[in-house]
Chain A
């Protein structure tokens, strides 16, 4: 049994969770900024 594979899996999973969440925050932020800009134009 290669325990290094489990170590890599745990580290990759951690950064995948954080990365996905930070990415979703950035996407939502861009969407709301755009909405604010559009409302400002009106």
Chain B
């Protein structure tokens, strides 16, 4: 894995340069907004990547909590599988299908529903208890970075287009709340030394994740200042723009994977250092206790 890291870094850097070239020189200029619309190629992929990372944090936290007992572990696994199966079947039931917002295809709902157990089982296969906690922390931290990019590039784009930097519209407000939830998660992880911290953080992550669908679907179900979704949901996009958008998303996803891998290794190293320091101080106190015991008869004798 360590050997693959430099190769993957070079490939990601190349892909990011290519994606930048596509966004600036290849994508057509939008008719009403002009050049500033190209912010879209950084803003939207960053948002999608942040959602994906928060989703991974949610599944890792859920699994960390469920792994406390073998019975809850089994129950959680079967519940997630049942959600996946139900979610894959339900959109094809006419009564449910009629309730779906315009432009939301049953196949996309089914695919998303099937991805939940797939990612959950994959995480469970490759990560054990401590690693699950580290994965959750890594995904949350990198997710906050991508969400920060969304919250910074959004107002920069809004100023020339809407004439304002910010408005308390549903999409913008829920995104800010999402960012605040995960910042508080990171603050909890950073400043709490209790042995219960991973468990408390996991509970916060599970409840915090409830905001993700709210952010995503806010523009599907409500009329907001924010534009309609570009894929389905009433919005439309030039195929050339869509191609550039997907290239940029791939590039930012590779960057996220790379940064997550580095952050995971850093967390592992940090815990190793902390364990070694704890062991050292334990041995040090053990040695000093032995020394004081050895000195005790002598001191008594001297008395």
Contact = CB atoms under 8 A, between A and B. Distances in A.
Interface residues of B, number: 32
Given A3-B33, A36-B273, A17 B148 contact: yes
A35 B259 CA distance: 22
Most B CB within 10 A of own CB, among A10, A11, A29, A35: A10
Contacts of B259: 18, 21-22, 25
A4 to B, nearest CB: 5
Contacts of A28: 266, 270
Interface in A1-42: 1, 3-4, 6-7, 9-11, 13-14, 17-18, 21-22, 25, 28-29, 32-33, 35-36, 39, 42
A6 B36 contact: yes
B152 A17 contact: yes
B156 A35 contact: no
A29 to B, nearest CB: 5
Nearest to B268: A32
A23 to B, nearest CB: 12
A14 B255 contact: no
A42 B156 CA distance: 52
A24 B52 CA distance: 23
B157 interface: yes
B160 A25 contact: no
Contact of A10 (B157, B265, B270, B276): B157
Contact of B280 (A9, A21, A33, A42): A42
A22 to B, nearest CB: 7
A12 to B, nearest CB: 10
Interface string B126-159: 0000000000000000000100110011001101
Most B CB within 10 A of own CB, among A7, A11, A17, A33: A7
A14 B266 contact: no
B63 interface: no
Interface string B30-50: 000111101100110010000
Contact of B276 (A4, A21, A22, A36): A36
A35 B262 CA distance: 18
Given A7-B39, A32-B266, A32-B270, A13 B152 contact: yes
Contacts of B149: 13-14, 17-18
The 5 closest A-B pairs by CB, nearest first: A3-B36, A10-B156, A10-B39, A10-B153, A32-B269
Interface of A: 1, 3-4, 6-7, 9-11, 13-14, 17-18, 21-22, 25, 28-29, 32-33, 35-36, 39, 42
15 contacts: A3-B34, A3-B35, A4-B35, A6-B39, A6-B160, A10-B157, A14-B149, A18-B149, A25-B259, A25-B263, A32-B266, A32-B273, A35-B273, A36-B273, A39-B276
Interface of B: 20, 33-36, 38-39, 42-43, 46, 145, 148-149, 152-153, 156-157, 159-160, 255, 259, 262-263, 265-266, 269-270, 272-273, 276-277, 280
